[in-house]
Amino acid sequence: MTDPQLILASTSVTRIQLLASAGVQFKSLPACVDEAELHAKFVALPAETLALELARAKARSLSTNHPEAIVIGADQTLQCAGVIFHKAQSLEGAKSKLKQLRGRAHQLHSAVACVQRGEVVYENVATATLTMRNFSDAFLDRYLKSAKDEALSAVGCYFYEGQGIQLFQKIEGDYHTILGLPLLPLLAFLRQSTIIQA
């Protein structure tokens, strides 16, 4: 069996939907990485560089077994006032993080890396700045009660494409970057490389 031409090293529903909606033919496989170990290894890196290292690692983790394929890795980091945030482990943790972000601007750094035969052939990092409104504690409690597990599966404790949009008063940046995949520059690379039709 031959390798598919394009593999997404992710089972993220959002990233899969973004690529599929663009009409790209690809296969989705889970990346073979220990994210906690990688975060510990790259703890001293700036947020943008961390996102890129994680994206590279995810793509490389599948490239060995699929050397002819272009493997796409993607990751995202959140930074507020110089501090890198991580996913909350509980709803109380999510509540604490959202209180820290409330009324403030934070940056989402979304990275994508394409790897073939173990070598990076394309990479990009895009940044969006999002400003949360000064929502009330009562609103926060209602949001977390409704969002539940969604608040624990995203680094910012929200899904911008869902009810999480109610947390915000302003955004600066690309929608796809906010969702975790710099799609337009990735598509430009895939067209330039004749992986998809121009």
Q: Residue 3 pLDDT more than 80?
A: no
The answer to whether residue 45 is domain-embedded is yes
Q: At what angle do helices 91-101 and 137-147 cross, to 10 degrees?
A: 140
The residue-averaged pLDDT of 37-45 equals 86
The residue-averaged pLDDT of 15-31 equals 96
Token reading at 25: 């033919």
Number of domains in the chain: 1
The answer to whether residue 1 is domain-embedded is no
Token reading at 116: 């073939």
The answer to whether residue 198 is domain-embedded is no
Q: Residue 4 pLDDT more than 70?
A: no
The answer to whether residue 178 is domain-embedded is yes
Query: What CATH number has the domain bearing residue 152?
Result: 3.90.950.10
Give the range of the structural domain holding residue 102, as residue numbers without chain letter. 6-192
Please tell me which residue in 3, 75, 137, 149 is annotated as part of the active site: 75
Among this protein's residues, is 34 annotated catalytic?
A: no
Q: Residue 47 pLDDT more than 70?
A: yes
The answer to whether residue 28 is domain-embedded is yes
Share of the chain above pLDDT 90, in %: 81
The answer to whether residue 53 is domain-embedded is yes
